[in-house]
Amino acid sequence: MNLFKQRAFKILMGTFVVYGILVATHKGEFWPFSIYPMFSQAGNPWTRAIVRDVTHTPDSLVWETTDLEHIQGSKVALKKVGVDQIDFSNFISKTEQWDTNRKNALIRMFGPKNLGNSRWVISKVRGRLTAHDSVIVEVVPFLLVKRDTVLTNPLLPKNSYVILP
Amino acid sequence: MSIKDRLSKELFEPDRKETEGEILFFRLFELFVMSYVIKLAWEWGYYMVRNSEVVLPLGVANYIDVSFMFEHSISLINAALITLIVIAAFFRRGSRWQYFIAMLLFHLQYVGRFSQGEIPHSANLIGLSLLSFGIGFIFFRETLKQRRFIFGTIIFFTGLGYTSAAFAKLISTGINWADGNHLWLWIAEKKTDILSRTGTFQYNWLQELALYSRPAATVILAIGWITELSGVLIWWRSLRPYVITGIIMMHIGITLTMNIRFDAFIYELILIGYPWAALIDRYISYIPGAQYAQKLNQ
């Protein structure tokens, strides 16, 4: 068993070297290897996304920026629509160019059946620490989704939807 | 004794006598891992059908366009392949490369499913275990050596993972990582996630305590960080049950404060953290069918 111990250690170290090379060259992640960097950057501002049904909300209020307690419309639970909310948040916050493909991908993600005749507003939710060490969360309506179209917020600057090179 | 000798003795236990309890426990552990692999392969496969674009390329997706997985039910075909290969390998049918091949396909399934921007870690321990089975079966033919290598490798990378997470926090943020207002910001983030997922949200007692008192929030984070840092201590057999208990408590704390569940992690930690084989040996005569463990192992 002494030989086994030596051989096993060698193979383990070989795997460890491969692990080191893979995570070092892939920003700490090469599944299932990871340096587990989640939550390592504390205090950074974050952006998530939330969906609300604004079918019965007056047009004048649909694009209004609010906080989480005064958000417009009625609730839409992404779980019921079959969408992972983290995927969804990333899809909204990491998309740089809202071209037709991305807009259609959004309708496909929700499913036209789920949308029916209603209109859903997608808001970016931004959280940050203030200079006085309290937390501020603001909800900024970003896209209005109907079964066959996606509209952008006219109150936001155009470069919110297309980041030019 | 050198560090290398001591570490390999702790991880691979070359001097420990093989027992029926060890054989039976290992087969049950293998069953647990492979059941989870099959479950996740199908869950990810079904989810992928609605993906249409790669937002964040992970792993091998940095080199090949994995959007082909989204069409023609390829993700489901991959899930079926993983299932067949894993079942055959479990019953020791086919090549000794099977678990490793299943791992490659499982990696493809992961990077396809999580190409939408999220990088979850909840299945890392299952993936790591499948990889350890893959390597163990390729390099060792004797079942005893396979078992000891696979188990030791899983323990090594599990401990390393937690400690590296603690260092990542220290490197990225510094010693003030544990400042309680950071927890407030994460609680607000998770509140948004839950609202997005279910439409409703209510604080629990631990979240209320953390939001009420910044020192309390700081203590919660500091305990979590120290627990993570101690991860590598599981490499030592005598410390393993205590450190694993601490890590499990930490995961429960994460679930309560940030609503992040690590079910697969907790189940597997329970399996690798405690001396189940010794317990089985003590009560083996009462376990129906245990005498077949040797047979199953062939």
Interface touch B165/A36, C-beta < 8 Å: yes
Beta carbons within 8 Å of B12's beta carbon, 6+ residues apart: A4, A5, A8, A9, B148, B149, B152
Kindly report the pTM of this predicted structure.
0.85
Which residues of chain A make contact with B172, given a CB cutoff of 8 A?
A: 37, 40-42
Long-range pairs for B279-283: beta carbons < 8 A, 24 or more residues apart: B279/B21, B280/B20, B280/B21, B280/B24, B280/B25, B281/B19, B281/B20, B281/B21, B281/B22, B282/B21
**Residue A159: its pLDDT value, please?**
77
Measured CA to CA in angstroms, residue B222 lies from A22, A66, B217, B262 at distances of 30, 34, 9, 20
pLDDT in tens, chain B (298 residues): 788 888 999 999 888 888 888 999 999 999 999 999 999 999 999 988 877 778 788 888 889 888 888 888 899 999 999 999 999 999 999 899 999 999 999 999 999 998 877 788 889 999 999 999 999 999 999 999 999 999 999 999 999 999 999 999 999 999 899 999 999 999 999 999 999 999 888 899 999 999 999 999 999 999 999 999 999 999 999 999 999 999 999 999 999 988 888 888 899 999 999 999 988 888 877 766 666 655 655 5
DSSP 8-state symbol, A36: -
**Residue B296: its pLDDT value, please?**
57
Q: What percent of chain A has pLDDT over 90?
A: 38
Residue A109 has pLDDT above 90, yes or no: no
Per residue in A27-66, pLDDT (tens digit) is 888 999 998 888 888 888 999 999 999 999 888 888 989 9
User: Which residue would you say has higher pLDDT here, A112 or B218?
Assistant: B218
Q: What percent of chain A has pLDDT over 70?
A: 98
Interface touch B15/A26, C-beta < 8 Å: no
Cα–Cα distance measured from residue B226 to residue B224, given in angstroms and rounded to the nearest whole number: 6
Min Cα separation B278/chain A (Å): 21
Give yes or no for A84 touching B (CB within 8 A): yes
Interface test with B, best of A6, A12, A125 (most B CBs within 10 A): A12
User: Among residues 150-169 of chain B, which lie with CB inside 8 Å of chain A?
Assistant: 152-153, 156-157, 160-162, 164-165, 167-169
ipTM score here? Answer: 0.88
Place of tokens 């599981």: B234
Residue A98 has pLDDT above 80, yes or no: yes
Reported confidence tier of residue A113, pLDDT bands at 50, 70, 90: confident
**Residue A164: its pLDDT value, please?**
46
Which residues of chain A make contact with B15, given a CB cutoff of 8 A?
A: 1
Which residue, A94, A98, A17, is CA-closest to B56?
A94
Place of tokens 């569940």: B261
Residue A25 has pLDDT above 70, yes or no: yes
Min Cα separation A52/chain B (Å): 9
- What is the residue-averaged pLDDT of chain A? 88
**Residue B260: its pLDDT value, please?**
83
Give yes or no for A43 touching B (CB within 8 A): yes
Beta carbons within 8 Å of A13's beta carbon, 6+ residues apart: none
Residue A124, both tokens: 């970016």
